[in-house]
Amino acid sequence: LKRAFRTIIIGLDGVPFSLIKELSEKQVMSSTRNLIKKGVFKQMDSSIPEVSSVAWSSIITGKNPGEHGIFGFTDISERTYQLSFPNFYHLKVPPFWEKRVGQRSIIINIPGTFPVRPLNGVHISGFVSLDLERSVYPPSLISKLTKLNYQVDVDSSKAHKSMDLFLNDLDKTLKARIDAYRLLWKEPDWQNFVLVFTGTDRLSHFLWEAYENENHLYHSYFLDYFQRLDKIIGEIAERIFEHDQLILLSDHGFELLEKEIHLNFFLKELGFLKIKPETKGDLTEIEFGTKAFALDPGRIYINLKDRYPKGSVKKRDYHKVREELIKAFSEWELEGKKVVKKVFKKEEIYQGPFLNQAPDLVLISNKGFDFKAKIKIKELWTKGIFTGKHTQDNAFLLTQRRVDEDIIGPKPSVFDICKIIEAKNSN
Amino acid sequence: MALAIETHKRALLKSISWRIFALTILGIISWIVTHSWIKVGLITIIYNLVQIFFFYLHERIWHKIKWGRIKHPLSEFDLNRELREEDKKIIEEQLKVLGYLD
């Protein structure tokens, strides 16, 4: 009897290529090292901006934000300036498993896939999810997950109180996620299995410093966390059949955070953004005369007259204002260091029917700088509890089929993942 | 479980073939009983008119019967509806603790 091949994807949210390379070489991740030896291991570009909701939406659809419609964790209502929160229902293109008609899929913890919708198989959504009732399909699975103490995400608010409390919750979340994967692996007749670990991203946000500094109190914890993940990677690698396709990947990378840079403060200082000094931190409070405002992480919107209620930029001045902004961002230096690595016009990075909803400019920060779009902040930069920040060009891809290299080329991007899945599917 | 998509064309063709099949059976039985083409015609017309009404009635009755219907928690989730205020607050809080919002 010929067994049908299956696609298995293990996602390590926010894990950079450099970390996997280092920890596998140092034998902290020995199972991953074995997979690297046999497969194709590449540094990968993330989406722009490099946030999980955009990157994962691109990974599972193979499309860019101009086609799938997800530009960030937040978006803005053109009528009111109010923030909205795009979710799985706003994804305009079906994920790969919905296109593989007749196949059963087990989908666990992909960011941006809340709320779940019925499918042939099982779906547990990832960050940002509100409650298990809307995060789990089929509903009959909810009671089993509750018994496993499954929670969609670690409670990151604990890190703001006590790092030990946070790490305790991180351990519990990981254990329950592993238990859930083991339970669901036994489901019959599936062809697609996606398992994403998001604790890696949370750990890196708060404790990237601990990874880089061997004397840090939590350095060994950091390595131990990745060692535990490596064991699961090894366990899955042993469970797969000869013709199965195993893909390991991350959605973006990480690096040390030196300064949080507040884009709206910068725009205010340069006169592009006008807002009352006593603002509550809400974009609805912006005033007439505003030419541009920012959304997290580096999305710049031009306040066009026919687009926004307090729009102040006439259509004919759009390109002039955009060029002024590009010049300002390109020349921006902080303590002798360029702040912005690259400024993209929307049409340079996005194509598709939702291009008109895209930010007019997207910025990529230079090393160590993390762009924020806080409104009520009164300083250009701050340094808070976070020690790690996302990177755009340092995600990783590890696939076990050598021929995948021909499809993805020397530097793959998150948009290429569907290509290698589909190539396998058509074999 | 195999999952396949029924195209509109296929569904339409099946509807037409079923109607022809059902009418032929009714016609044959009516002719065997009555031996009259006029009566066969009348029976066919009356039967189909009555069927439309009773099919509607039957559907409405079943619509009110909840037995055998599995309700998914998302069944009342309006795709175009904005999130509830309490949902937004939870999301905002989750994004705040990771530094994405003020």
Tokens of residue B36, six digits? 């009259």
**Mutating which of B72, B82, B85 best tests the A interface, going by the most A Cβ atoms within 10 A?**
B72
Q: What percent of chain B has pLDDT over 90?
A: 43
Kindly report the average pLDDT of chain A as a whole number.
Answer: 94
Nearest CA-CA partner of A395 in A23, A28, A89, A42: A42
Cβ <8 Å between B100 and A74:
yes
Q: What pLDDT does residue B70 have?
A: 62
Query: Distance of CA A406 to CAs A96, A220, A394, A403, A426, Å?
Result: 21, 38, 20, 6, 15
Type of residue found at A318 = Y
**Mean pLDDT, rounded, for A236-258:** 96
CB neighbour class for A226 (10 Å; exposed up to 12, middle 13-18, buried from 19): buried
Its ipTM equals 0.84
Name the closest residue on chain A to residue B94, using Cα atoms.
A128
| Segment A402-422, tens digit of pLDDT | 778 888 888 999 999 999 998
- Mean of per-residue pLDDT scores for chain B: 82
Q: Do the Cβ atoms of A96 and A422 come closer than 8 Å? A: yes
Please list every residue in chain B whose beta carbon sits closer than 8 Å to the beta carbon of residue A133: 73
> ∠B1-B6-B10 over CA atoms, to 5°?
140
A128 CA to chain B: closest CA distance, Å?
7
Pairwise CA distance, residues A122 & A136, whole Å: 8
CA distance A28 to chain B (A): 27
d(CA A152, CA B62) in angstroms, rounded, equals: 38
Locate the chain B residue with the closest alpha carbon to A283: B102
- Pairwise CA distance, residues A260 & A262, whole Å: 6
- Best CA proximity match to A207, nearest among A164, A176, A174: A164
Residue B83: pLDDT over 80? no
Q: Say whether pLDDT at B1 is over 50.
A: no
Q: What is d(CA A26, CA A22) in angstroms, rounded to the nearest whole number? A: 6
Which of B71, B74, B84, B92 is the best mutation test for A, with the most CBs of A within 10 A? B74
Give the pLDDT band (50/70/90) at residue B80. very low
From A128-132, A215-219, A265-269, the region with the lowest mean pLDDT: A128-132
Q: How confident is the model at residue A1 (pLDDT cuts 50, 70, 90)?
A: very low
More confident residue, A234 or B73: A234
pLDDT tens-digit profile of A57-91? 999 999 999 999 999 999 998 888 988 899 998 89
| Other beta carbons less than 10 A from residue A208's beta carbon | 22
Considering only CB atoms, A376 lies closest to which of B98, B99, B102, namely: B102
Q: The dihedral of CA B11, B13, B16, B20: what is its sign? A: negative
Mean pLDDT score, B12-23: 91
Determine the pLDDT at residue B72. Answer: 52
User: What is the rounded distance in angstroms from the CA atom of residue A308 to the CA atom of residue A301?
Assistant: 10
Cβ contacts (< 8 Å) between A365 and chain B: which residues? none
Q: How far, in Å, CA of A92 to CA of A58, rounded?
A: 11
Predicted model pTM: 0.84
From chain A, pick out residues whose CB is under 8 angstroms from the CB of B95.
73-74, 128
Q: Specify whether the CB–CB gap between A344 and A234 falls below 8 A.
A: no
| Contact between chains at A133 and B101 (C-beta distance less than 8 A) | no
Give the separation between CA A205 and CA A208, rounded to whole angstroms. 6
Is A156 in contact with A202 (CB distance < 8 Å)? yes
Provide φ and ψ at A108, rounded to 5°: -125, 115
- Count of other CB atoms within 10 angstroms of residue A311: 17
Q: Which residue of B82, B88, B100 is in closest CB contact with A296?
A: B100
CA distance A374 to A389: 16
Is the pLDDT score of B9 beyond 90?
Answer: no
Residues from chain A that touch B88, judged by Cβ atoms under 8 A, are 85
Out of A84, A115, A386, the one facing B99 most closely (by C-beta) is A386
Residue A160 has pLDDT above 70, yes or no: yes
Q: Which two tokens stand for residue B88?
A: 């937004």
Q: Looking at the partner chain, which of B87, B100, B102 has a beta carbon nearest the beta carbon of A130?
A: B87
From the centroid of its chain, how far is CA A404? 23
The pLDDT value given to residue A137: 93
Closest partner CB to B3 (pick from A101, A127, A137): A101
- Whether A117 shows a pLDDT value over 50: the answer reads yes
A406: distance to nearest CA of chain B, Å?
A: 32
pLDDT of B2 reads 37
- State percent of chain A over pLDDT 70: 98
User: Looking at CA atoms only, how far is residue B66 from chain A in angstroms?
Assistant: 18
- A interface with B, Cβ–Cβ < 8 A, is 51, 73-74, 83-85, 87, 89, 101-102, 104, 115-118, 120, 127-128, 130, 133-134, 137-139, 153, 156-157, 159-160, 202, 205, 260, 281, 296-297, 372, 374-377, 384, 386
Angle of helix A219-239 relative to helix A30-38, nearest 10 degrees, comes to 50
- Rounded-to-10 torsion of CA A402, A408, A412, A415: -130
Mark yes or no for CB contact A128/B94 under 8 Å: yes
Chain A neighbors of B5, CB-CB under 8 A: 101
A184-197 pLDDT, tens digit each: 999 999 999 999 99
Residue A23 or residue B4, greater confidence: A23
**Cα separations (Å) of A157 from A161, A371, A385, B79, B93?**
7, 21, 11, 30, 9
Residue A101 has pLDDT above 60, yes or no: yes
pLDDT for the residue numbered A341: 97
> A395 has which bridge partners?
A44
Q: Which of A85, A139, A156 sits opposite B97 (nearest CB)?
A: A156
Closest-CA residue of chain A to B85? A84
What is the model's pLDDT at position B77? 52
The CA-based angle B85-B91-B96, given to 5 degrees, is 125
Residue B3: its pLDDT value, please? 42
